[in-house]
Homo-oligomer: A and B are copies of this chain.
């Protein structure tokens, strides 16, 4: 694999450099993985690491190289079938629940596919790419960054299925506290008609716009995330056994799945541990709780006599308080690390620790219309069922977070780094 050599010339232009950075980040994420680690699919919701690495590459090949690089030679005719995710526009595809059957092509061959596409992308980007290519390349980079986070959450889920509890890495960013969590402070906001959505500066997904006015009632929001210690109190108070705290579907799920703690938690000899990318670790009572579903977050809020914020409240509070996503500092492990709690005026832990469930179903903003063609199949077709999460997590790659970002998952899902922040009416 001579990916490093092949990538050197990419540094020339800005787009070229950004492309190389993102692609390189994926490569680094794959380094700790064996071929087998990268192949297995632990559940239909998750995808194999190899699939993430190939699918993001297929996106560049299909959306950019084939239509825009004359003479481009397709790496393999079968890859279009194997690595299309869900684009009905782009033909038949391998069924999602069978992604884990693909022991061949091996990880090596996927890395060769990546090098092949990188070489062609370099040629295209280091020339004088059209605005359309620039735009598609930007979309492709952000698309790959999304999959970088999923690669990590999916690997964590896979490793959590193994009784030997493998660690993805020996050390790295973790949801660890630096001392006792302070009491939560309640930040008040007046409400009124505010601007919501992406403001047109820099990249954003289609669903983050159009920017529009929203009416917000006065509210208060906690300046920090809910902690593991608070979650343990909820558990100790019978939170998982009190139907009145739960949405009806949530309570049914508690029963069907036997939920009694967040995902990846296990209790041995009275001690709670949680499976992390660094292996099985004691639950840190001062760190933010992660791996809870919307159902659990909502029940916890009811138990606290609070509620979850709407996504508009969250976005407004973040903008007003000036909370900022983490900045890339060059070191691939360090840059994943969240800023120390306490930094930023007012609202803390907005980014870089855990995604925060809001009470907002994932719905189109006023005047939203999906783009025509394949790229329009991006977000709109999922606007039924999921709830919006805001912020970012320790697994979000550098440069991917922003205040208008709308992550979304179904309310019963727990394998993401998903936590919560409380709110209330003022």
Contacts and interface: CB of A to CB of B under 8 A. Distances in A.
Contact of A163 (B86, B88, B94, B298): B94
A399 B152 CA distance: 48
A331 to B, nearest CB: 28
Contacts of A82: 163-164
A207 interface: no
A166 interface: yes
Say how many copies of this protein the assembly contains. Answer: 4
B78 A425 contact: no
A28 interface: no
Contact of A214 (B162, B215, B367, B411): B215
A382 to B, nearest CB: 6
Interface residues of A, number: 64
Interface string A245-269: 0111111000000000000000000
Interface string A290-304: 000011001000000
B382 A103 contact: no
Given A88-B244, A104-B37, A213-B215, A81 B163 contact: yes
Contacts of A38: 36
B248 A104 contact: no
Contacts of A86: 248
A250 B382 CA distance: 10
Contacts of A387: 384
A40 B100 contact: yes
Contact of A162 (B40, B104, B384): B104
Given A86-B248, A248-B381, A359-B363, A40 B103 contact: yes
Contact of A193 (B103, B215, B249, B411): B215
Interface string A390-426: 0000000000000000000001000000000000010
Contacts of A366: 217, 425
Contact of A40 (B39, B295, B298, B364): B39
Interface string A193-217: 1000000000000000000111101
Given A39-B39, A98-B161, A104-B162, 5 more contacts: A88-B243, A212-B217, A247-B384, A361-B361, A384-B411
The 7 closest A-B pairs by CB, nearest first: A361-B361, A88-B243, A101-B161, A36-B39, A215-B215, A36-B103, A35-B36
Interface of A: 34-40, 42, 78, 81-82, 86, 88-89, 94, 98, 100-107, 158-159, 161-164, 166, 193, 212-215, 217, 243-244, 246-251, 294-295, 298, 359-361, 363-364, 366-367, 377, 381-385, 387, 411, 425
